[in-house]
Structure 1
Amino acid sequence: MRPRAGEVLHFSEDPTIARFVPHVAPTSVEAEAYVWAVGFDRAPDYWFPRQCPRAMAWVVEETSDQDRERIVGAGCGVRVHAVEFGWLEAIRTAKLFAYRLPAGPFRPIAAPGSAPHAMVATEAVEPLGPPDPVGDLFALHAEAGIQLRVLDNLWPFWDEVVRSTLGFSGIRLRNARPQPAAT
C-alpha cells in the first residue's frame, strides 16, 4: 500500500474521516498544527496498528557492509521492521485504512540534519476518495520484501540500530516493554 504519483497517504484505523484538519498531536515535538502524511518511501513505517511500537532500519548510501549484514542480515533485503511478541495479535487483526491525499498542499518535514520523515500540510485536506482497506499487514510486509522480526523486547535491537550506519525510525517506542536491566 503505497501512494501513487501526485499522492501522499495517511494511515488510520478510522474509516470515517471526511476532512483532515491541521492539529498539534499530543505526542508531537512540533508546535505548529499540521495534517500528517507519508510518501512512497516512508509508507511502510505505518503498516501497523497505530499504537504498536516498532523499530525499523533500512540500508542507505552510507550503510557499511558490516552493519547491513549484522542488523539486516546477509541476503535479507534492505529493510527490517521489528515488533514485540505481545503485538502479534493486534497486527493480525488490525483494520487499517489508507487515505489517499493530494500531494500539492504537503511539504517534507525533517529534524535538523536529518532526511525528511513525513509530509505535512498547514491547511485542511480532503481525501481523494474513500479510504482503501490496507488488508493483511503480514502479507503487505512479505510482498514488499520487508523483514518483520518478532522480538521479546525492542530495546536491544533499537540500541544496535541507532549506533549503526543504517537509516532508522522508531515509532510509539513508549509503548514497548521496559528496557531490560543492564547485566
Structure 2
Amino acid sequence: MRPAPGEVLHFSEDPTIERFAPHVAPTSAETTPYVWAVDARSAPSYWFPRQCPRAMAWVREGTTDADRDRIIGPGGGERVHAIEYTWWDAMRTTRLYAYRFAAEAFEPLASPAAEPHAMVSTEPVVPLGPPEPVGNLIDCHAAAGIQLRLLPNLWPFWDAVTAGTLGHSGIRLRNAAPRPEPDQSRYSTT
C-alpha cells in the first residue's frame, strides 16, 4: 500500500476519521502542530501496528558493500525491517487502514542534513475518500521484497544498523524490550 503520484498516506488503526486536525503528538520532538503523512518511499515504515517498535534499514547512496552484506545480508532486497517476537501476533492480526490525501497540502519534514522522514500539514485536511484496508501486513512486506526479521531484542540490531552507512529509522523504540545486559562471560579471563 503506497500513495499514487500526487498523494500522501496516513496509516491508522481507526477507520472512522473524517477530518485530520494538526496536533502535537505526545511522543514527538516537534512542537509545531501537524497532520502527519508519508510519501511512497516512507510508506513501508508504517506497515505495522501503531505501537509496534521497529528498526529498519535500507540501502542508500553511500552504503558500503560491507554494511549491505553485514546488515541486509544474502537473500535479496534493499531493505530490512526488524520487530521483536512479542509483536508477531499483533503484526499478523492488526487491521490497518490508509487514508489518502492530496500531496499539495503537505510539505517534507526533515531534520538538518537528513532525508525527509514525513510529510506534514499545518492546516486541517480531509481525506480524498474513505480509508482503505491495508491488508495483511506480512504480505505487504513480502510483495515489496522487504525482509521482515523477528528478533528477541531490537537493540543489538539497532546498534549495528546505526553504526553503519545504511539509511535507517527506528519507530516506537521506547516500546521495545529493555537493552540486554552485556554478556559478562565475553570478558572473562578464565
Residue 150 of structure 1 aligns with which residue? Answer: 150
Q: Rg bigger for which structure?
A: 2
Q: How does 1:18-97 map to 2 (within 5 A)?
A: 18-97=18-97
Mark the runs of 5 or more structure 1 residues left unpaired by the alignment: none
| Code of the aligned partner of 2:68 | R
Structure 2 Cα separation of the partners of residues 38 and 53 of structure 1:
18
TM normalised by structure 2 equals 0.95
Residue 170 (str. 1) matches residue 167 (str. 2): no
Structure 2 Cα separation of the partners of residues 98 and 179 of structure 1:
32
Structure 2 Cα separation of the partners of residues 93 and 75 of structure 1:
26
Mark the runs of 5 or more structure 2 residues left unpaired by the alignment: 184-190
TM-superposed CA distance for 1:74, in Å, is 2.7
Query: Structure 2 vs 1, CA of residues 164 and 49 (structure 1 numbering), >3 Å: closer, same or farther?
Result: same
TM-superposed CA distance for 1:75, in Å, is 4.2
Instruction: Give the CA RMSD over aligned residues.
Output: 0.6
TM-superposed CA distance for 1:111, in Å, is 1.1
Residue 103 of structure 2 aligns with which residue? Answer: 103
Structure 2 Cα separation of the partners of residues 76 and 85 of structure 1:
22
TM-superposed CA distance for 1:53, in Å, is 0.2
Cα deviations by residue, 1:43-76 (Å, 9 ceiling, x for unpaired): 0000000000000000001100000001001342
- Deviating 4+ runs (over 4 angstroms): none
User: Per the alignment, in what secondary structure is the counterpart of residue 104 of structure 1?
Assistant: helix
Structure 2 Cα separation of the partners of residues 41 and 50 of structure 1:
18
| Code of the aligned partner of 1:40 | A
User: Per the alignment, in what secondary structure is the counterpart of residue 104 of structure 2?
Assistant: coil
Q: How does 1:124-139 map to 2 (within 5 A)?
A: 124-139=124-139
| Code of the aligned partner of 1:171 | I
Identity %: 66
TM normalised by structure 1 equals 0.99
